[in-house]
Structure 1
Amino acid sequence: MGLGDKISNAAEDAKGKIKEATGKATDDESLEAEGKGDQTKSDLKSAGENVKDAFKH
């Protein structure tokens, strides 16, 4: 996984956590769910990159 990918995934995860927290604070279930979705997407991207890296070595 390249450094750019790691930074991008971390930023997406952070954005998701902020959305989730904001959704909880404002009782906006839609925003909270969107934040959780962003975090899941980031986790899946990281996992996919880790699998690619494992096959490179």
Structure 2
Amino acid sequence: MASIKAVKPKEPGDVGPKAPAMKPAPKKAEQKPKEPKKKGKSGRPSAKKKGV
């Protein structure tokens, strides 16, 4: 997803109509919070083990 977003914003035509349409999209909002939550849980235990 990150790669697709980076490529679309490069075009001036897509940046205008796509930027505002993507923000209100409920699908992207749901996926974003899910990714950081999973990474934080798995990242916290691994970081603690490495630190110890």
Same fold flag (TM > 0.5): no
TM-score by length of 2: 0.44
Q: Which has the higher contact order (CA 8 A, sep 6+)?
A: 1
Structure possessing the higher radius of gyration over alpha carbons: 2
TM-score by length of 1: 0.41
